Amino acid sequence: MDRKHILVVDDDLNMLRSMEFILEAADFKVTTGRNGREGFEKIISARDHQAVDLLITDVQMPGLTGVQLIDELKRLNIALPLLVITAYGDQKLKSELARRGCSHCLDKPFNDEKLLQEVFRILGTNPELR
């Protein structure tokens, strides 16, 4: 069985490396990006190899934000499961994300268990079978 491919996009290097470590330890293939533009380019280039199965993105990033990244994917009709992580998860943002088809949002800070629980739920995988 192929490992699920997760792209994590966050401008906070400590957060990015932490999530990469947690997800790789759970046997996911992980690719990272430091901003929305880099994340977008990695999604496009991965289509020729192992497509991304889940995008985890921060909202507040310089350049292309997480919301703008989601909009760019929608504009190109790229359907992809999403998990948004944010320290600014107020109701307005969550409503805005829901209108864009993203119903999974995780407020920072979160622990390893909560991250993995959300990832397994979104991907519909059973961690016991990994």
Q: Is 80 exceeded by the pLDDT of residue 2?
A: no
Q: Which of 49, 48, 30 lies closest to 39 in space, CA to CA?
A: 30
Tell me the average pLDDT across 47-64. Answer: 90
Over residues 77-89, the pLDDT tens digits come to 999 999 999 887 6
Residue 9: what residue type?
A: V
Tell me the average pLDDT across 99-119. Answer: 91
- The CATH number assigned to the domain holding 21 equals 3.40.50.2300
- How does the average pLDDT of the chain come out, rounded? 90
Instruction: Note the pLDDT of residue 103.
Output: 84
Range of the domain at 88: 5-129
Q: Which residue has the higher pLDDT, 127 or 102?
A: 102
Q: Where are any strands of DSSP class E within 1-130?
A: 5-9, 29-33, 54-58, 82-86, 105-107
The answer to whether the bond into 109 is cis (omega within 30° of 0) is: yes
Question: pTM higher than 0.75 for the full model?
Answer: yes
Instruction: Note the pLDDT of residue 27.
Output: 94
Number of structural domains (the chain) is 1
Phi, psi angle pair for 46, to nearest 5°: -70, -20
